[in-house]
């Protein structure tokens, strides 16, 4: 994928997004924009609605109200044709947290990638499959393996390659590095930065880990109980949080000299 659009092109926009589950409003009037090549973090704890936002962006949930626009096209309603679904897949892809459950156990990594490349490109393209494997750092033996033969980090590389296979403009990273060991997490974060440099893809990182958020994103929105409590440039928000909940989140992160503090009601 090459970046042909200007740096100010909007690749993703959510406007007044709401999602109700019965009487419960899980997402309440959430708006944000992502420009080409920029990355946004959606930060929050359990029940904040951050994962529901991600699921609505990729079409796994339908918004109760509000709109989602990717690459200038509305995707608030389900796609009705295969053609439309494939087009949407080339706009936004998602990488989930758990690489153990998000891969087909009976398909080799290369087989999986070949299938996706073929379905999007209209023809088999072994060279492109090879480039994808190289991009995520999987060797020939790993490419020919079934997922169960791979480590957690290697599996997450495979799911990232799968997302890249459709050459998306936006990749949703739903806690994609949260389950990895520290040393593997650093490898995957470096990989994600390399991929962004190389392809110009934008990330939407769904995360509770503020250090990972700082490392990977330009902008951040902080969600609590379905609402956005604070938004801004990642560095500004983390260095000088304006909302007391953001401050609590930041102060809860263990670091040098840190002592656990009791939560005061916000």
Partner 1 sequence: MNAATHLVELEHLIVRLPVDGGRRAVLRGVDLTIGVGEAVGLVGESGSGKSMTARTIDRLLPDNAVVEGVVRFDGDDVWSMDGDALRRFRTDVAMVFQDPRAHINPVRRIGDFMTEAVIAHGLMAKREATARAIELLDAVRIDRGPARMRQYPHELSGGMLQRVMIATALMARPRLLLADEPTTALDVTTQAEVMAILDELRVEFGLAMLFITHDLELATAVCNRTVVMYAGQVMEIGEAESVESNPTHPYTIALLGARPSIAASRTRLDAIPGQPMSAYDAPDDACAFESRCKHAVDECRAAMPQLVAFGPRSVRCIRIDSPVVVAAHD
Instruction: Give the footprint of partner 1 on this chain (CB under 8 A).
Output: 45-46, 151-154, 181-187, 189-190, 193, 208, 210-212, 214-216, 234-235, 238-239, 248-256, 258-263
Provide, rounded to whole angstroms, the least separation between the CB of residue 206 and partner 1.
14
Query: In terms of CB distance, is 6 or 254 closer to partner 1?
Result: 254
Question: What minimum distance in Å lies between the beta carbon of 259 and partner 1?
Answer: 6
From the centroid of its chain, how far is CA 234? 16
For residue 262, count CB atoms less than 10 angstroms from its CB and return exposed for 0-12, middle for 13-18, buried for 19 or more: exposed
CB of 152 to partner 1, least distance (A): 8
Contact 224, 245 (CB under 8 A): yes
CA distances (Å), origin 18, targets 29, 49, 70, 234: 5, 10, 17, 24
Give strand pairing partners of 69: 13, 74
Q: Indicate the residue among 23 and 261 with the shorter CB distance to partner 1.
A: 261
Residue 111 C-beta: closest distance to partner 1, Å: 23
- Minimum CB separation of residue 87 from partner 1 in Å reads 33
- Identity of the residue, 120 or 196, whose beta carbon is nearer to partner 1 in the bound complex: 196
Query: CB of residue 250 vs partner 1: minimum separation in angstroms?
Result: 7
Helix (H) / strand (E) containing 207: strand 202-207
User: Judged by CB, which is closer to partner 1: 198, or 239?
Assistant: 239
Per-residue burial over 155-165, b if 16 or more Cβ lie within 10 Å, else e, is: bbbbbbbbbbb
Minimum CB distance to partner 1 smaller for 93 or for 185: 185
| H or E stretch at 15 | strand 10-21
| Residue closer to partner 1, measured from CB, 107 or 252 | 252
Helical ranges in 108-181 per DSSP H: 109-121, 126-136, 140-143, 152-165
Between strands 10-21 and 65-70, the pairing is antiparallel
Residue 81 contacts residue 60 (beta carbons within 8 Å): no
């Amino acid at each position: 994928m090459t970046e042909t659009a200007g740096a100010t092109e909007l690749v993703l926009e959510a406007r007044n997004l709401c999602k109700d589950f019965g009487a419960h409003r899980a997402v309440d009037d959430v708006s944000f924009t992502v420009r080409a090549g920029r990355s946004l973090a959606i930060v929050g704890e359990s029940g904040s609605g951050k994962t529901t936002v991600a699921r609505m962006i990729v079409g796994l949930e339908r918004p109760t109200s509000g709109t989602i626009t990717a690459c200038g096209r509305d995707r608030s309603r389900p796609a009705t044709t295969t053609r439309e679904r494939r087009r949407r897949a080339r706009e936004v892809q998602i990488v989930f947290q758990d690489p153990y459950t998000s891969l087909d156990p009976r398909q080799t990594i290369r087989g999986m990638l070949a299938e996706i490349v073929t379905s999007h490109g209209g023809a088999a393209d072994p060279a492109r499959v090879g480039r994808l494997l190289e991009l995520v750092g999987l060797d020939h033996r790993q490419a020919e393996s079934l997922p169960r033969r791979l480590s957690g980090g290697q599996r997450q590389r495979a799911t990232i390659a799968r997302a890249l296979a459709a050459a998306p403009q936006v990749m949703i990273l739903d806690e994609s590095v949260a389950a990895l060991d520290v040393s593997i997490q650093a490898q995957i974060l470096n990989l994600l930065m390399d991929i962004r440099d190389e392809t110009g893809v934008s990330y939407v990182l769904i995360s509770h880990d503020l250090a990972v958020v700082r490392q990977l994103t330009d902008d951040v929105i902080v969600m609590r109980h379905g609402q956005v409590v604070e938004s801004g440039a990642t560095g500004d928000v983390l260095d000088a949080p304006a909302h007391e909940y953001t401050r609590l989140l930041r102060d809860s992160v263990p670091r040098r000299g840190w002592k656990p503090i009791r939560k005061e009601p916000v």
